[in-house]
Amino acid sequence: METLPDLAGLTHAEKDEVIHALWDLVTALRKEVVALKAEVVSLKAEVADLRGQLAKNSRNSSIPSSAEGLKKTKSMRKKGTRPPGGQPGHSGSTLKQVDHPDHVVDYPLPDVCDACGGLLAGQATTEARQVFDLPPVAREVTEHRIHQLRCTCGKIHRSEFPADVTAPVLYGPGVKALAVYLTQHHMLPVARAAQLLSDLYGLSISAGTVQSMIAEAGTLLAPTVGRIADAVAQATVAGADESGFRVAGKLNWLHTAVTEALTWLGLHAKRGKRAFEDFGLLYRLKGTLVHDGWASYRELDCAHALCNAHHLRELTFVHEECGQPWAKHMIDLLVAAHHETVAAQGQPLTAMRIQAIRVKYEAILAEAATANPEKPASGKRGRTAQSVPFNLYRRLRDHADDVLRFTTDPLVPFSNNLAEQAIRMPKVKHKIAGCFRTTEGAQTFCTIRSYLATLQKQHADLFPSLVQVFKGNVPQPSFSA
């Protein structure tokens, strides 16, 4: 450790020199302290941000529950008052006996009593038990024969094969429909679908043949799916969403636009404006579009409604992880308003109730503003980074009309659940396969899935419909949005 100099033996000039040196040292140390304090503040903010990221899950953010692995997830749903299981008055789905069974096996009584040896006489009572089972399944081969004969005059007469019998051996519409049904609706891998057809029906079908059946279905269904897109574009209310989709080793985007009765899916290399322009669907929409608030949707020339399921998750994070009470107040308000609109059964709320909800909404935003003052501009290029609570508050403030659209328009849903559901099963397919090898294959999947999801919404039988598709008679869904 350095010792202080003996000031008694120094001249005035030397003392002044020491004082100046000490002052320079103190000034430098002050600057260093200021810099270290700023670094501590920055590191604390970074630690808080990282802790926040670690605390995010499917309950308080947009992270899907499937991304959480085997971690136990907690639903945002509140426990109901009704007991679990079927409720009183519910018809149930218990297996019931049929009036006309396919087979009857009788077990007759003996002619004499085994106790006394007397003849059994009189009318016996009957008790029946029925066993439901599947009969053995097998392929059915139909041979088509034509004939040729030369007349005595020299003319050759020849009958004709049906128009759809184009080769010496080919698969019929039932086989094609089942292959498409298994792979495009139940998401079986192509190879496993081929194996199932072999195991059950004795059909030795290659994976390539199944792929060709899928491609044929895509071609046959393309005009109908085009009409579905047109119908969605004309809807009063539609939902839209997008999700990453890996195709041919590159990131693509699966887009969806839906109504309660229609589902349309499309694939594009881009996520936003370029995709919207190429599809053309959303640019034609003049009704209300429900979405998650992504900026590209905001540029569309239509009314907007924001998904409040997203808001509830983000508000949960701000309340539980950031400790801000206003977020819980907003959750309670939005949930209560949602229950009120559901209870109205499609009828609009009164102007007085709408105004009351809005007044309370604005009061909660005032709480949020007090708890989250905006950070001043940093002087650097671009927007100054703000906290997670502030960004959520700003969105709820700037787009209040879109957040509360469900209270003013009874046709607008509380969340964008319909669009998210439309993407869920394609994501299952994506996870099973790992990716799509070709863009054409992924686009074909979107076409077939659009058709099947639409039929399912309209309670149509999917497999018989696919059989008709391969017979050249495509069943048309209702195009009323």
List of residues 6+ apart from 15 with CB closer than 8 A: 7
Query: How far are the Cα atoms of 161, 163, 170, 175 from residue 143, in angstroms, in the given order?
Result: 11, 14, 11, 16
pLDDT value of residue 435 = 76
Question: If we measure between CA atoms, which residue out of 191, 189, 193, 169 comes closest to residue 179?
Answer: 193
- Please tell me the predicted confidence (pLDDT) of residue 89: 72
Give the model's pLDDT for residue 480. Answer: 82
**Residue 37 lies inside a defined structural domain of this protein:** no
Indicate whether 76 pLDDT > 70.
no
What's the confidence (pLDDT) of residue 359?
96
What pLDDT is attached to residue 224?
97
Would 182 be classed as within a structural domain? no
Number of domains composing the chain: 1
pLDDT tens-digit map of 122-135: 888 899 999 999 88
What is the model's pLDDT at position 5?
A: 62
Cβ neighbours for 178, distance < 8 A, ≥ 6 positions apart: 197, 463, 466
Given a cut of 60, is residue 383 above it in pLDDT? yes
Q: How confident is residue 384, by pLDDT bands cut at 50, 70 and 90?
A: confident
Is 11 in a helix, a strand, or coil?
Answer: coil
Instruction: Determine the structural domain holding residue 315 and report its residue range.
Output: 308-373+386-415
364 domain-assigned: yes
Which pair of structure tokens corresponds to residue 28? 């430098």
In the structure, what pLDDT confidence band is assigned to residue 57 with cuts at 50, 70 and 90? low
Asked if residue 476 belongs to a domain, the reply is: no
459 domain residue, yes or no: no
Q: Give the contacts of 429 (CB within 8 A, at least 6 positions apart).
A: 187, 445
Phi, psi at 322, each rounded to 5°: -100, -10
Domain annotation covers residue 109: no
Task: For residue 163, give the DSSP letter.
Answer: T
pTM for the structure as a whole: 0.81
Tens-place pLDDT, residues 3-43: 666 667 777 787 778 788 888 888 998 998 888 888 888 78
Mean pLDDT value of segment 192-213: 92
* Pairwise CA distance, residues 66 & 74, whole Å: 13
- DSSP bridge pairs for 288: 237, 303
pLDDT(73) > 90: no
* Rounded Cα gap, residues 177 and 172, in angstroms: 9
Residue 85 has pLDDT above 70, yes or no: no
What's the pLDDT tens digit per position in 307-346? Answer: 999 999 999 999 988 889 999 999 999 999 999 999 999 8
Kindly tell me if the per-residue pLDDT of 204 is higher than 80: yes
Inside any domain, residue 367: yes
In a domain, 327, yes or no: yes
Specify the range with the lowest mean pLDDT, choosing from 75-84, 398-407, 439-448: 75-84
Mean pLDDT of the chain: 89
SS3 percent helix, strand, coil of the chain, rounded to 5, is: 50, 10, 40
